[in-house]
Amino acid sequence: MISCPDCSFENIEGSDECQQCGQSLTTLHLAEPATDVERSLLDDRVGVLDPKLPVAVTPQTPVGEVLQKLVAQSIGCVIVVENQELVGIFSERDALQKLNVDVDAFRDHPVSEYMTSDPQTLEADSKVAFAVQRMDLGSYRHVPIVDDQGRPVGIVSVRDILRYLADKMGAVDV
Domain assignment of residue 36, yes or no: no
- Give the pairing of strands 85-91 and 77-82: antiparallel
**What is the model's pLDDT at position 25?**
80
- Cα separations in angstroms, 24 against 16, 31, 119, 127: 6, 16, 27, 17
Same domain, 63 and 11: no
CA gap 115, 59 in Å, rounded: 9
Same domain, 26 and 50: no
Same domain, 9 and 52: no
**What is the model's pLDDT at position 72?**
97
**What is the model's pLDDT at position 68?**
96
Same domain, 52 and 136: yes
Domain assignment of residue 40, yes or no: no
Q: Which domain holds residue 145?
A: 46-171
**What is the model's pLDDT at position 174?**
45
CATH of the domain at 95: 3.10.580.10
Same domain, 115 and 142: yes
Same domain, 86 and 133: yes
Domain assignment of residue 38, yes or no: no
Nearest partner of 167 among 31, 76, 33, 50, judged by Cα: 50
What DSSP designation does 47 have? G
**What is the model's pLDDT at position 172?**
52
- Domain tally, the chain: 2
**What is the model's pLDDT at position 28?**
64
Same domain, 24 and 80: no
* Residue ranges of the chain with per-residue pLDDT less than 50: 174
Domain assignment of residue 39, yes or no: no
Same domain, 161 and 95: yes
- Cα separations in angstroms, 46 against 110, 115, 156: 31, 24, 8
